[in-house]
Amino acid sequence: MRRLLILAALLGGGVVAQTALPGVLTIRFLNVGQGDAVLITAPEGQGLLYDGGRSEKRMTELLGKYGVKSLAVVAASHGDADHITGLIPAVQMFKPKFFLNNGIAATTQTFGKLTAAVKTAGTQGLLAKDQVINLGSVKVTILPPPPGMPKTDQNLNSIGLLIEYGTFKALMTGDSESAETAAWLKAYPASTLGPINVYKSIHHGAKNGDNLAWLNAVRPTDVVIGVGPNNYGHPTSEALALYKSVNAAIYRTDLNGTVTVTVQPGGKYSLSAEKGTGTAPQAAPVPTAPAPTAPAPAAPPRLPPALPPSSPSGGVVYPNCAAVRAAGRAPLLVGQPGYSRKLDRDGDGRACE
Ligand SMILES: [Zn+2]
């Protein structure tokens, strides 16, 4: 077991969110569309926002909707726009004490805006390492990217958080891929990793995220997928089959809206969805009717039309986003000359945002 450092009582005082319920830990998997954002509020009121989704406007609305009055920590699992954009208003509004990050700068305007906001707010950068954050009485163990992950790959350098309160455990590991989860499996005893009560699906249910070896250690009871309309086919049938194979109930923010977990002292928890209920496996959505009581025939999830093939359009080819920005063309929208899937990491039809 690796040595754990303790941020002793660092987050113990002075920060009280009015949304805290006495004695209750609240974890909200926010409906931010295609992306991740998890709001964790300790029983004593300290708040931690793990990722912020892809929209500043949406995150601002959600922070208001859930009555957030302060944040002690914002954490970027990694530097992709569908995770960090919403952290910008969170930092600007609440000037959190810490910005937990993987130390790898993303070459995007969004990342630059976030780091500028962090600086202006006087927020302290906290590089992910083996460490425990005491968020009030909630134990937050950081799973830093294991050694040996290529620094050019944001996904493989995702930061994980293990949340513990009584016997309750939640785990979220950004957009990590098999190489990172395999290294974590070597670094942590299985008893550390699982069983997990509430688990965030890796990478919005992508094919290259969750895998059987990892899930056999994690052993999740409830899986929440942060997903919205996208052109990647997230969540994939492969990921959904994996969750089913380990008998997990599945919640999806695209179908269930924001999913809220409340944990009592001791660790008993309940999970509620803004709409609908999770299933194992999750039934396909029924767009107009209320949830049927009898099994309904499965319909494919509604997705926007597929993006064109990955070849750049319009005869213009940009090798990377730096070139797009140098040309003053960012963000490039699908269909515009030079747009390509390669430049649109999160597949939302806006490249180099
Ligand atoms: Zn992502």
Ligand 1: distance of its center to the CA of 21 in Å? 30
Question: What radius of gyration, in Å, describes the C-alpha atoms of the chain?
Answer: 20
Residues in the chain, how many? 353
Coil, helix or strand at residue 321: helix
Give tens-digit pLDDT for 178-232.
999 999 999 999 888 999 999 999 999 999 999 999 999 999 999 999 999 999 9
Ligand 1: distance of its center to the CA of 176 in Å? 9
306 DSSP 8-state letter: P
Angle between the N-to-C axes of helices 109-121 and 87-94, in degrees from 0 to 180, rounded to the nearest 10: 10
The pLDDT-based confidence of 277 (bands split at 50, 70, 90) is confident
Ligand 1: distance of its center to the CA of 82 in Å? 5
Enumerate residues 6+ apart whose C-beta is below 8 A from 307: 231, 334, 341, 344, 347, 349
Ligand 1: distance of its center to the CA of 233 in Å? 13
Ligand 1: distance of its center to the CA of 304 in Å? 18
270: tokens are 């309940």
Bridge partners (DSSP) listed for residue 139 = 134, 164
Ligand 1: distance of its center to the CA of 266 in Å? 32
Distance CA 56, CA 70 (A): 17
Q: What pLDDT is recorded for position 353? A: 75
Ligand 1: distance of its center to the CA of 258 in Å? 17
Nearest to 43 by CA among 269, 275, 274: 269
CB atoms within 10 A of CB 5: 12
Residue percentage of the chain with pLDDT more than 90: 70
Ligand 1: distance of its center to the CA of 212 in Å? 20
Ligand 1: distance of its center to the CA of 35 in Å? 5
User: What protein residues have CB closer than 5 angstroms to ion ligand 1?
Assistant: 82, 175
- Evaluate whether 217 touches 185 at the Cβ level (below 8 Å): yes
Ligand 1: distance of its center to the CA of 264 in Å? 30
- Evaluate whether 46 touches 135 at the Cβ level (below 8 Å): yes
Ligand 1: distance of its center to the CA of 73 in Å? 20
Alpha-carbon distance values, 136 to 122, 165, 193, 298 (Å): 22, 10, 22, 44
Ligand 1: distance of its center to the CA of 297 in Å? 30
- Evaluate whether 90 touches 51 at the Cβ level (below 8 Å): no
Ligand 1: distance of its center to the CA of 51 in Å? 10
Ligand 1: distance of its center to the CA of 89 in Å? 19
The domain made up of 5-273 is a member of CATH 3.40.50.11540? no
Ligand 1: distance of its center to the CA of 53 in Å? 8
Give tens-digit pLDDT for 23-44.
999 999 999 999 999 999 999 9
Main-chain phi, psi angles of 74, to 5 degrees: -110, 140
Tell whether the model's pLDDT for residue 1 goes beyond 70: no
112: tokens are 């630059």
344: tokens are 């649109």
Distance CA 234, CA 226 (A): 9
Ligand 1: distance of its center to the CA of 190 in Å? 26
Ligand 1: distance of its center to the CA of 56 in Å? 16
Enumerate residues 6+ apart whose C-beta is below 8 A from 302: 229, 285, 287
CB atoms within 10 A of CB 350: 18
Ligand 1: distance of its center to the CA of 346 in Å? 7
Mean pLDDT value of segment 321-340? 69
150: tokens are 């290529």
Domain coordinates of the chain in residue numbers? Answer: 5-273, 305-353
- Evaluate whether 104 touches 151 at the Cβ level (below 8 Å): yes
Ligand 1: distance of its center to the CA of 154 in Å? 10
**H or E element that contains 338:** none
Is 292 or 252 the better-scoring residue by pLDDT? 252
Ligand 1: distance of its center to the CA of 38 in Å? 13
Mean pLDDT value of segment 301-326? 52
Ligand 1: distance of its center to the CA of 147 in Å? 21
- What does pLDDT average to over the chain? 85
The pLDDT-based confidence of 338 (bands split at 50, 70, 90) is confident
- Evaluate whether 44 touches 19 at the Cβ level (below 8 Å): no
Enumerate residues 6+ apart whose C-beta is below 8 A from 33: 53, 54, 55, 58, 228, 229, 254
Ligand 1: distance of its center to the CA of 49 in Å? 15
